[in-house]
Amino acid sequence: MKKINTPLLKKEIEKLKAGEKVLLSGVIYTARDSAHKRLAQAIARGRAFPFDLKGQIIYYCGPTPRPKGRIIGSCGPTTSSRMDAFTPALLKAGIIGMIGKGRRSAAVVEAIKKYRGVYFLAYAGCGALISKYVKKMELTAYKELGPEAVYRLEVCDLPLIVGIDTTGRSLYD
């Protein structure tokens, strides 16, 4: 299976095709509903982001609290479509990839094409299994949001499926 590493290079992203399975290693950032709302507000008000979005991959995930002696709790993907309204602005601001589950809106597909991004699917409803691929977890921003805070995760060989590629081809079409 193809292995890819962060930061994802433009050249590599272009080669990914919808339907292809990959193993991702490197850094990803969790962000879901509330964090997206805050990032969008930062964009609207021209404020700085709490972390550098450029070239980063956002994982739609709110993990369970970390059990003692573990790196992370259960941490599967949440439904991506709830983030659709915010995604084009985030792609414009520099994110390059997203990991989640389920369909995306036509506007998101267009934005992925325009900014040459990629949308990955993670095994849905497999939070315990996915926790095994996380090697490090650090709080990055919005601590008060609890499970919806932004966490920096280091993953190793996280199994993903390319859901939407840079040409806008979607696995759900």
Partner 1 sequence: MIREAVAKLSISANLILRKDILLALKRAYIKEPNRRAREILCAIINNAHLARKEGLAICQDTGLVSVFVQLGQGARIAGSLNEAINKGVESGYRRGYLRNSIVRDPLLRGRPGYQPAVIHIEMIKGNRVILTVMPKGFGCENKTQLKMFNPTATMEEIKSFIVATVKEAGPDACPPYIIGVGLGGTADYSLLLAKKALIRDINKPNTVRQINALEKELLKEINRLNIGPMGLGGQSTALAVNIQSYPTHIAGLPVAVSISCHALRSATETL
Residue 61 touching partner 1 (CB under 8 A): yes
Residue 34 touching partner 1 (CB under 8 A): yes
Total residues binding partner 1 (CB under 8 A): 39
CB atoms inside a 10 Å sphere around CB 139: 10
Residue 99 touching partner 1 (CB under 8 A): no
Angle at 87 between CA 13 and CA 142, to 5 degrees: 105
Residue 36 touching partner 1 (CB under 8 A): no
Which of 89, 161, 168, 169 contacts partner 1 by CB under 8 A?
161
Which of 10, 15, 138, 146 contacts partner 1 by CB under 8 A?
146
Q: How many Å from the N-terminal Cα to the C-terminal Cα in the chain? A: 24
Which of 6, 25, 74, 105 contacts partner 1 by CB under 8 A?
74
Residue 101: DSSP 8-state: B
Q: Give which of 1, 51, 9, 21 is closest to 121, Cα–Cα.
A: 21
Q: Give which of 22, 18, 173, 28 is closest to 103, Cα–Cα.
A: 173
36 a catalytic residue = yes
Residue 38 touching partner 1 (CB under 8 A): no
The residue type at 18? A
Residue 41 touching partner 1 (CB under 8 A): no
Active-site residues: which are they? 36
